[in-house]
Amino acid sequence: MNKQFLLGVYDDEEPVLRAVKELRMKGLRVYDVYSPFAIHGMDDALGLKRTRLTVAAFIYGVIGMTLGLSMMIFMNVIDWPINIGGKPAWMGPDFVPVTFEITVLITALGMVGTFLYINRLGPGVPGDLIDPRVTNDRFIIAVEVKADETRSKITEILQSHGSLEIRERSK
Amino acid sequence: MRPLESKPSKLWFAAVGITSLVMMMGFGFIGYLFFVGTGVWGLNKTVGWAWDITNFVFWVGIGHAGTLISAVLLLFRQKWRTSINRAAEAMTIFAVMCAGIFPVIHTGRPWLAFWMLPLPNVHGSLWVNFNSPLLWDVFAISTYLTVSLVFWYIGLIPDIATVRDRANGLRKAIYGVLSFGWNGSARTWARYEIVCLILAGLSTPLVLSVHTIVSFDFATSVVPGWHTTIFPPYFVAGAIFSGFAMVHTLMILTRTLFKLEDYITIYHLELMNIVIIVTGSVVGLAYGTEFFIAWYSGVEYEQYAFINRATGPFAWAYWTMISCNVITPQLFWFNKIRKSVVATFIISIFVNIGMWFERFVIIVTSLHRDYLPSSWADYSPTIVEIGIFVGTFGLFFTLFLLFAKTLPVIALHEVKTVLKSSSEKYKKLAAEKASRGIAAEPLLTPEISLTRKAPEENEL
């Protein structure tokens, strides 16, 4: 796959946001935006769908709660009930703290695992870094060039918002 | 960034040298303890918990401020947290590590510590007892450590990427592996913010649950002085109180050692001092409430326990606690003291001492007088107990110094967000003023005072 990209480099977040909005309004597909910090409102400007990670977190929570509770019921009620002063083996409130802890643990680990997986992040992953400056103080808009005639149009829009430089990159 | 990219100073080497020596000494004492047994401690049949459990509760409490700063203040969208949250989270992790040492070594045969885990075993199929608060603690502390570690590392990833892209050679390779291939894409950022928010949402009840469960270790027993329903909120307030004091101690050292006065400002110290007044007063109120309830309940054992606490053989510890925890922090009502770095540092040390004594008072004074006067006993620590405790400080500071030298102590990407938004506000304000014919004078609000450092941002 050989895709052509035009990269607009900026030194502030505001023009980036405006440029992205204009590009999308003119029907051009913005491939991605790279920035040193999260830009407020960028997900709307790029038209990203709201992430479903919250749903995943809830599912992990339910799994964690079920696992924790059933583990304790199996161990202390079914498999080997301990007679403590004749009290019943099933003592609901006693199981609350550990259920809670296991729920939190499974939710946190599951969600972070999912986050790393969907973003292709992991220890030692090479990563597709577009420019080393984007993690420091530069902002880059990457626009895919489908046809050569759009090239000048994209360049024009990127420049009109005060880009410092415009580069090409193929992937 | 500066402390990270420059060569370590002589001061840093000296500090690490001292702290690691202290740490080694602590480990030496632990080795001696393992070899000989818990008889080397000053415990006896009546006072079965003392120094060791005091240290455990003390360290866990310290950890709480880190989570509070990073999670609760994130949920409340308090921007001032950005320059202190990273270091506070690191502090949490190291403090919980120190805390974890104590329950394990106090079991007497720590090589059997895995018996606390719900594993299938050879003793028939005897499982762990989930009705015991001590077992709840095992789960609470290990979950707390794991989740804090994950939260901290997730926060670090974008900053490690920044380090990676400014470095060369081996450095670049190492930080490259650690940065997980971060590329700053908008999609990743959008999900990243959600993940941080959910982790903060999870950590908040978690941190409250951890110290609540620690307090259950005491509150669910029948020992007068422990058997009180106010223990959970009282312990949580105490934990935040002591944790913020430790954050102060560390932050003031860090900002001096690494010259970060521009990022950790007087404003931050002042806000944390306000938290200290609030939680310190809550703790003071709890001390009073305990006495009131002892009297009001009409239970003579309870009444004796508290009168003995304030006037008995450990009265010196009790009054140390009162003066360090209740009286000293009230000095922060004075504006000058609240804004003074030196005063804050001194008071934070007092609070640390006071909070250690609080746990000591609760544990030892409640135990040393049993129901039967024939079982009454005394307690004094041995050199081994003191050595191990001092050793954990060595471990704590060694880990913290290593962290401060190898990873960004300040959450770079979060500070950048605040700098940007505040610099824009400043620009607007200046423009407005200029249009009205007033010269733009520097505003002394904290956000703006950060702004004046904006040109240095590239240096981050």
For residue A69, tell me if it sits in a domain.
Answer: yes
**Per-residue pLDDT reduced to its tens digit, A64-73:** 999 989 988 8
Residues A158 and A102 in one domain: no
Residues A101 and A83 in one domain: yes
- Assigned CATH for B2-410: 1.20.1630.10
**Per-residue pLDDT reduced to its tens digit, A160-169:** 777 677 777 7
Unique residue bearing structure tokens 């808009």: A141
- Domain residue limits, chain B: 2-410
How high is the pLDDT of residue B160?
83
Residues A79 and A103 in one domain: yes
**Alpha-carbon separation of residue A32 from A8, A39, B232, B305 (angstroms):** 11, 13, 48, 67
pLDDT band at A149 (very low <50, low <70, confident <90, very high): low
Question: Per-residue DSSP letters for A106-155?
Answer: HHHHHHHHHHHHHTT--TT-----S-GGGGTT-EEEEEEE-SHHHHHHHH
A21: domain CATH number is 3.30.70.3450
Q: Which of B143, B213, B458 sits opposite A104 (nearest CB)?
A: B143
Query: Cβ of A56 under 8 Å from any chain B Cβ?
Result: no
Per-residue pLDDT of chain B (460 residues; tens, 9 = 90+): 555 666 677 888 888 899 899 998 989 888 888 888 888 887 778 888 888 888 888 898 888 888 887 787 777 777 777 777 788 888 889 999 888 888 888 877 777 777 777 777 776 667 888 888 888 888 888 899 998 888 888 888 888 888 887 777 777 778 878 878 787 777 788 888 888 888 888 888 888 888 889 888 888 888 888 888 888 888 888 888 888 888 888 888 888 877 777 777 788 888 888 888 888 899 899 988 888 988 898 888 888 888 888 888 888 889 998 888 888 888 888 888 888 888 888 888 989 898 888 888 888 888 888 888 888 888 888 888 888 888 899 999 899 888 888 887 777 777 777 666 555 555 555 555 555 544 434 333 334 333 333 333 444 3
For residue A107, tell me if it sits in a domain.
Answer: yes
Total domains in chain A come to 2
Domain span at A114: 53-118
Q: What is the mean pLDDT of residues A12-28?
A: 75
How high is the pLDDT of residue A137?
74
3-state secondary structure of B42: coil
Between A22 and B3, where is the model more confident? A22
For chain A, give the percent of residues with pLDDT over 70. Answer: 92
Residue type present at position B196: C
For residue A124, tell me if it sits in a domain.
Answer: no
How high is the pLDDT of residue A160?
73
For residue A62, tell me if it sits in a domain.
Answer: yes
Residues A62 and A84 in one domain: yes
Residues A21 and A78 in one domain: no
Rounded CA separation A83/A102 (Å): 25
Q: Which of B164, B183, B195 sits opposite A34 (nearest CB)?
A: B183
d(CA B448, nearest CA chain A) in Å: 18
How high is the pLDDT of residue A65?
92
For residue A125, tell me if it sits in a domain.
Answer: no
- pLDDT for residue A132 is more than 80: no
For residue A90, tell me if it sits in a domain.
Answer: yes
Q: How many CA atoms lie within 13 A of B5 on its CB side?
A: 13
Phi, psi of A139, rounded to the nearest 5 degrees: -120, 135
Rounded CA separation B352/B372 (Å): 34
Rounded CA separation A20/A32 (Å): 10
Residues of chain B in contact with residue A130, where contact means CB-CB under 8 angstroms, are: 183
Rounded CA separation B460/B448 (Å): 18
How high is the pLDDT of residue A62?
93
Residues of chain B in contact with residue A122, where contact means CB-CB under 8 angstroms, are: 180-181
What integer best gives the mean pLDDT of chain A?
Answer: 79
Residues A103 and A138 in one domain: no
For residue A111, tell me if it sits in a domain.
Answer: yes
Residues A42 and A59 in one domain: no
Residues A42 and A67 in one domain: no
A9 bridge partner residues:
A140, A165
Residues A141 and A162 in one domain: yes
Structure tokens at B215: 């307090």
Residues A24 and A76 in one domain: no
For residue A123, tell me if it sits in a domain.
Answer: no
Residues of chain B in contact with residue A47, where contact means CB-CB under 8 angstroms, are: none
Residues A112 and A81 in one domain: yes
- Answer whether A94 sits within 8 Å of B183, measured CB to CB: no
pTM over 0.90: no
Whether ipTM exceeds 0.90? no
Q: Which of A105, A116, A134 sits opposite B146 (nearest CB)?
A: A105
- Answer whether B125 sits within 8 Å of A79, measured CB to CB: yes
